[in-house]
Structure 1
Amino acid sequence: MPAVQRSDGSSDGIGTVAQGSGDRSRIVVTGKGGVGKTTLAALLARTLARRGQTVLAVDADAQMNLAWALGMPPSEAAAIVPLSDNADYVEEKTGARPGSGWGMLLRLNPQADDAVERFSVRAPDGVRLLVMGSLHQAAAGCLCPENTLLAGAMAAIALRPGELILMDTQAGLEHFGRALARGFGQALVVTDPSFNGVSVALRTAHLAADLGIPTVHLVVNRVRGPKDVDRVEGYLHGADAGTRPAFASRHLLPEDERVLVAEPAVDGLLDGMVSPFGAAVSDLADSLALIARGVG
């Protein structure tokens, strides 16, 4: 099913593109759990890498399954230590060891610009993968060393030159605060055709815009046909017109049993398998690459 793109201000939730300063080669993939974000992020990363892009994939989802989706050998994927779990590195950069009584010693702006070189791993097709780990949510505005380190690493990642960065994360973008706005220029808000999925997508799109991400796309996954498209349109129309987010584009990804056959890795969708889902993601990759180059 081909991607549908609009920027004409029509009333189905597709509006004008918000303006901002984020680098559009930095892309965050977000949405409700279980809608296919990680599979999409992995397939985009490897597709773009095969086209000659230097791709850094960042796993900031609590499930941390991106290594498997990218097609890394299970033993290598299981051996990855998330950045937030590397106690020595956390202490080195923040001055406080996780779980310790750190008092006033915590450095609030740690310089973590070496995180990718020191802790990323190579995935198939030359994709570089950095697993961030889970944010601690014990209290609002938590200043624990792990969260402080991840915020510093996120800020450093956003400033890396010459790379296309894809970050897979959960729907709660607020956990990253303004770190996303410092450099990420595109957000893919992924949903399925369900009411819950679209509701989360609408809230997430608002949050992405509030954080300063200038270009927000809606990606509807597992579309079975026109009825699903109409259902999503209805949910979008049902949103309050005054608060309806402005999506830069909308992309429809078809339901495809080959995705289930191929999981957890996306290799089968890249090599030797004719896949409507893979073809639609390839079209999406074209669109994202053009925008990243300032053409779209």
Structure 2
Amino acid sequence: MRIAFVGKGGSGKTTLSALFTRHLARSGAPVLAIDGDINQHLAEALGQDDGPLGAPPLGAHVGEIKDFLRGTNPRVPSAAAMIKTTPPGRGSRLLTLLGDDELHTRHVRRVGDVPLMVTGEFDESDLGVSCYHSKLGGVELYLNHLVDGPGEYVVVDMTAGADAFASGLFTRFDMTFLVAEPTRKGVSVYRQYRDHAREFGIRIAVIGNKVTGEDDLLFLKEHVGDDLLTHLVHSPWVRSAEQGRDQGGLDTLEPHNAHALNVLREAVDARPRDWATHHRHAVEFHLRNARAWADEATGLDLAAQVDPDFVPGPAALA
């Protein structure tokens, strides 16, 4: 299952991404965390010390990722002919979660019990030249070519706010958790995301965060309604972790917040994978990009990259 955490900057989405990923890893489930936020703080939230992570960022190796994933697909003759939305077809190299392959070996590093990939920071060389979403191309390509199975999880900490809609990446997930503080600014991002997501049938569930009392909870219920899945209360455990002090592991997390993590997993596990919809969205956004800019940029008709006889899912691995 692919899970995205989105929300207003400062809402706590990175903290929630890290907590949920650690919760899954602690249960023994196969899980991969991906930092897709411009601020790149997920490793720290997972417990990384001040030393370098040592994982080459996906954003700096998009060309190599394309060359690897295109495999022997005759519709994609070169990495230069492939864009981030190019969907897999017969001959493409498909991935299994944390498989023994070149991409995972190069880009995954462990932080505690959690395997992590990062997109890379927006650095000085990018200023005035490119947008951050170009770095997210590696994540979109990865998810397009991933065949994950039941009980396997990919958790992505996404860019803040409605900026997550700047690419088709938002359609690559089985569940999108929107982290909302009980404030007008917090719920305004929810409304933006809800309205955009409805166009494509994307389900979102809201996690109230930093709730301090009944008034906060009533505010969220009034503005979010049935989309409110659960909430977390103010957490001394989280504050201690953010200050670099030993919290004693997830088993000492406040009982209410630990229960909220269980609710999140139950919601994810109850969501069936719809391979046909995933593939339809991938093709739709590929054709949008082809018409908007990519045909002209590559000098090719990129609609021809869509393999009408390709059926995504576990059967494709055979």
* Contact 2:32-2:116 at 8 Å conserved across structures: yes
1:227-246 aligned at under 5 Å gives the runs: 227-236=215-224
* Change in 2 beyond 3 A, CA 1:232/1:28: same
1:246-265 aligned at under 5 Å gives the runs: 247=227, 249-263=228-242
- What is the DSSP-based 3-state SS (H/G/I as helix, E as strand, rest coil) of the residue aligned with 2:39? coil
User: In the alignment, which residue of structure 1 is the partner of 2:141?
Assistant: 152
Amino acid at match of 1:174: F
Which one of 58, 62, 69 corresponds to residue 83 of structure 1? 58
Identity of aligned residues (%): 26
* Change in 2 beyond 3 A, CA 1:264/1:195: same
Which one of 17, 24, 27 corresponds to residue 41 of structure 1? 17
Question: What are the superposed Cα offsets for residues 33-91 of structure 1, whole Å, 9 maximum, x if unpaired?
Answer: 101111111111111111121001111111111111111233143x4432112377368
User: In the alignment, which residue of structure 2 is the partner of 1:199?
Assistant: 188
Q: Provide the aligned length of Structure 1 versus Structure 2.
A: 246
Which one of 137, 151, 164 corresponds to residue 173 of structure 1? 164
- What is the DSSP-based 3-state SS (H/G/I as helix, E as strand, rest coil) of the residue aligned with 1:189? strand
- What is the DSSP-based 3-state SS (H/G/I as helix, E as strand, rest coil) of the residue aligned with 1:28? strand
User: In the alignment, which residue of structure 2 is the partner of 1:107?
Assistant: 82
- Which structure carries more helix by proportion? 2
Q: Which structure is higher in RCO with an 8 Å CA cutoff and minimum separation 6?
A: 1
Question: What are the superposed Cα offsets for residues 163-218 of structure 1, whole Å, 9 maximum, x if unpaired?
Answer: 211111023221231x442x4111101110010011101211332343443x3211
Give 1:228 deviation, angstroms: 0.7
Give 1:160 deviation, angstroms: 3.1
In 1, Cα distance between equivalents of 2:154 and 2:2: 5
Aligned CA-pair RMSD: 3.6
In structure 1, runs of 5+ residues without a counterpart are 1-24, 96-103, 238-245
Amino acid at match of 2:220: V
* Contact 2:55-2:117 at 8 Å conserved across structures: no
Question: What are the superposed Cα offsets for residues 207-239 of structure 1, whole Å, 9 maximum, x if unpaired?
Answer: 2343443x32110100001111122234347xx
Give 1:161 deviation, angstroms: 3.4
In 1, Cα distance between equivalents of 2:127 and 2:270: 34
* Contact 1:59-1:168 at 8 Å conserved across structures: yes
User: In the alignment, which residue of structure 2 is the partner of 1:116?
Assistant: 104
In 1, Cα distance between equivalents of 2:268 and 2:47: 22
Give 1:93 deviation, angstroms: 5.9
In 1, Cα distance between equivalents of 2:207 and 2:245: 18
TM-score w.r.t. length of structure 1: 0.69
* Contact 2:23-2:250 at 8 Å conserved across structures: no
* Change in 2 beyond 3 A, CA 1:105/1:287: closer
Q: Which moved more, 1:220-229 or 1:249-258?
A: 249-258
Matched, 1:71 2:47: yes
- What is the DSSP-based 3-state SS (H/G/I as helix, E as strand, rest coil) of the residue aligned with 2:266? helix
* Contact 2:181-2:209 at 8 Å conserved across structures: yes
User: In the alignment, which residue of structure 1 is the partner of 2:34?
Assistant: 58
Which one of 237, 240, 254 corresponds to residue 275 of structure 1? 254
* Contact 1:37-1:190 at 8 Å conserved across structures: yes
